[in-house]
Structure 1
Amino acid sequence: MSAAERLADRRERLISAAYTLFAHPGFHATTIERLCATARISNRAFYECFSSREDLMRAVYERCIEETLRSVTEAIDKAPPALDDRIVAGIAEYIRFVTADVRRARLMHLEVRRAGNVLSGARQQAVASFTKVIESSARGATRMPPLDLHLLALGLIGALTELLIEWVVTEPSPPTEQLVEACVYIFRRTFASEGPMAASAQ
């Protein structure tokens, strides 16, 4: 392999090792030495790929977000054009895809927070990306909610995030079907054309 190929290979091995180790035993419990041993590279080679554990965590987290966004977007694009169908498809696919691998769920909803403020920007960018998906899906709907669409989308993302945290930390984990049902209920109440919000806006 060329020098660039060797560097790319080491980087991928570190990302693979971190995907497992940062999920369990966790970000703070995983040393650079353990990452390097798992990836079968030297400690010196680590710093040729990443500047710190946090930098590696950011790379793993951003890849998880990218893969999840792709899966959710595809599910929404395949759904019927009605707003309810599109958002429900997106919610169900998000929960299905994230919980299909508990490592992904732990990294995206628990360990990234434990990594500290250094990753707050990456988290905010992820939230913004998923919020845009909801806003894009809602635009063009026959009836729009009476409150600000961006704020409502943020609230829905927050509810979805807390449900996934509950799934990660609770033993036994609640069935994913219940997570979908709860989030869909919140969505439908939030975007209902009739109800307390609509009445107060009239």
Structure 2
Amino acid sequence: MSAEQRLADRRERLMTAAYTLYAKPGFTATTIERLCSEARISNRAFYECFGGREELLQALHERCVEESLSVVAKAVAEAPQTLDGRVKAGIRAYIEFTTADWRRARIMHVEVRRSGDVLTLSRQRAVASFARLVEEASADFPLGSDLNRRLVALGVIGALQELLIEWLLADDQPDIDELVAVAVHIFNRSLGTA
């Protein structure tokens, strides 16, 4: 392997290790030594890939967000071109993709908050990206009132995040179809279409 390929391989092994360890036991409980042991690389090699645990968490979070945005955008584009069709397709795609791997859901909705200021900017960029997606998907349809479309988008995104946190942490985990139904209801009410 070339030096670039070795670096890319180490970086990917660290991302894979962090995907599991940052989800459980969690970001704050995961040391660089443990990440390196799991990835089978030296501590020195870690710093050739990332400036610290925080930079690795940010890269991992951004990857999860990019993958999620791609899945949701595709689902919305392929949905019936009605507001209801777009809302249902986008919500179902997001919930199913996020919950398909509990580690992804945990990193995106629990560890992002537990990491403190580490992911503040990354989280804000992710929320802004999802808000734009909601705004674009609903742009052809009037809101049921004179509400600010961006603020409505931010509100429904917050509700969806809390539903996913409930799915992750509840003793009696809600069914995915139930999460989708509740999220669609909230979106439709917020957009003034129900």
Residue 96 (structure 1) aligns with = 96
Matches within 5 A, 1:136-147: 136-141=136-141, 143-146=142-145, 147=147
Query: Structure 2: how far apart are the matches of 1:101 and 1:171?
Result: 18
Residue 56 (structure 2) aligns with = 56
Equivalent residue letter for 2:130: F
**2:66 match: secondary structure:** helix
Equivalent residue letter for 1:152: V
Query: Structure 2: how far apart are the matches of 1:119 and 1:145?
Result: 34
Q: Which runs of 4+ in 1 moved over 4 A?
A: none
Q: Percent identity, please.
A: 57
Residue 129 (structure 1) aligns with = 129
Residue 74 (structure 1) aligns with = 74
* Number of residue equivalences: 193
Higher Cα Rg: structure 1 or 2? 1
Residue 192 (structure 2) aligns with = 192
Equivalent residue letter for 1:45: A
Q: CA deviation at 1:193?
A: 4.7
Query: Structure 2: how far apart are the matches of 1:178 and 1:70?
Result: 23
Matches within 5 A, 1:109-128: 109-128=109-128
Q: CA deviation at 1:131?
A: 0.4
Give the TM-score normalised by the residue count of structure 1: 0.93
Query: Structure 1: how far apart are the matches of 2:49 and 2:41?
Result: 11
Query: Structure 2: how far apart are the matches of 1:190 and 1:114?
Result: 28
Query: Structure 2: how far apart are the matches of 1:52 and 1:115?
Result: 13
Query: Structure 2: how far apart are the matches of 1:152 and 1:103?
Result: 28
Equivalent residue letter for 2:188: R
Query: Structure 1: how far apart are the matches of 2:144 and 2:100?
Result: 32
Query: Structure 2: how far apart are the matches of 1:68 and 1:190?
Result: 22
Q: CA deviation at 1:144?
A: 2.6
Give the TM-score normalised by the residue count of structure 2: 0.96
Equivalent residue letter for 1:21: L
Structure 1 residue runs without a partner (length 5+):
195-202
The answer to whether residue 173 in structure 2 is matched with residue 178 in structure 1 is: no
Q: CA deviation at 1:178?
A: 1.1
1:80-104 CA distance string (max 9 Å, x none): 1111110111011100100000000
Query: Structure 2: how far apart are the matches of 1:84 and 1:133?
Result: 15
Query: Structure 2: how far apart are the matches of 1:2 and 1:169?
Result: 44
